[in-house]
Amino acid sequence: MKNEIEQLKDVLLDSDAILIGAGSGMSAAAGMDWWYQASPVYKQHFGDFYARHPEATGIFKGFYARFTSENERWAYLVRMLDFIYHQPPVKNTYQVLKDLIQDRPYHILTTNQDAMFNRYFADEQISTIQGDWRFLQSSAPQIDDQLYDARPFVKRGMEYLAQQEDKLYLPDDLIPHSPTTGLPLTPWVRSPEFLEGRRFKQEHEKTRQFINRFGNQKLLFFELGVGRMTPMFIQEPFWQLTSQLPLAHYVNINPQDAMTHTQIASRSVLIDADVDQALRAVQKLKSQNPVSHQSYLKTPRVPKQEPEQQALGMLEQAPALLITAANGFSISEGFNWFASDAVFHDLLGDLVDQYGLHNMLEAVQYPYQSKVVQWRVWARIINRYSSHYHTSPLMENLRQIIKGRPYYIWTTNPEHHFNLAGLDHVVENEANWVYGSCQTPDHPHVDLRAAARLMVGLEQERELTEADLPRCTTCGEVLTPLMFAPKPQLDSQQVAGLNKLVRAHADQPLAVLELGVGDQNPLVKKPVESLLRQFSEWNYVVLNQKPGPVPFNLQPRTAVIQGDLKTNLAQLARLMARPSKAR
Which residue ranges make up the site for Zn ion (CB under 5 A)?
438, 440, 443, 472, 474-475
Nearer to Zn ion (CB atom), residue 443 or residue 533: 443
Give the Cα separation of 329 and 301 in Å (integer): 38
Q: What three-state secondary structure class fits 324? A: strand
Strand order, beta sheet including 106-110 = 126-128, 106-110, 17-22, 219-224, 249-253, 268-271
Q: Given 3-state DSSP classes, what are the helix, strand and coil percentages for the chain, each rounded to the nearest 5?
A: 45, 15, 40
Q: What three-state secondary structure class fits 562? A: strand
Smallest gap from residue 448 Cβ to Zn ion (A): 14
Smallest gap from residue 442 Cβ to Zn ion (A): 9
Nearer to Zn ion (CB atom), residue 327 or residue 437: 437
Widest CA span in the chain: 111
Smallest gap from residue 439 Cβ to Zn ion (A): 7
Smallest gap from residue 443 Cβ to Zn ion (A): 3
Nearer to Zn ion (CB atom), residue 391 or residue 440: 440
Smallest gap from residue 367 Cβ to Zn ion (A): 23
Nearer to Zn ion (CB atom), residue 431 or residue 472: 472
Query: What one-character DSSP code corresponds to residue 430?
Result: T
Residue (of 297, 274, 318, 327) closest to 501 by Cα position:
318
Smallest gap from residue 378 Cβ to Zn ion (A): 18
| 76 close to 65: Cβ distance less than 8 angstroms | yes
Nearer to Zn ion (CB atom), residue 56 or residue 448: 448
Nearer to Zn ion (CB atom), residue 266 or residue 474: 474
Nearer to Zn ion (CB atom), residue 289 or residue 473: 473
The count of residues in the chain is: 583
Please count the other Cβ atoms lying within 10 Å of the Cβ belonging to residue 17.
Answer: 19
DSSP string, 355-377: HT--SHHHHHHS--SSHHHHHHH
Smallest gap from residue 381 Cβ to Zn ion (A): 23
Burial environment of residue 264 by CB neighbours within 10 A (0 to 12, 13 to 18, 19 or more): buried
Nearer to Zn ion (CB atom), residue 135 or residue 375: 375
Ramachandran sector of residue 79 (left: φ over 0; alpha: ψ -120 to 50; beta: rest): alpha
Pairing of strands 147-149, 131-138: antiparallel
Smallest gap from residue 441 Cβ to Zn ion (A): 9
Smallest gap from residue 475 Cβ to Zn ion (A): 3
Cα 370 to Cα 177, 361, 375, 468, 471, distances in angstroms: 76, 18, 9, 13, 16
Nearer to Zn ion (CB atom), residue 356 or residue 441: 441
Smallest gap from residue 478 Cβ to Zn ion (A): 10
Nearer to Zn ion (CB atom), residue 326 or residue 438: 438
Q: What's the per-residue H, E or C state across 454-510?
A: HHHHHHHHCCCCHHHCCECCCCCCECEEHHHCCCCCCCHHHHHHHHHHHHHCCCCCC
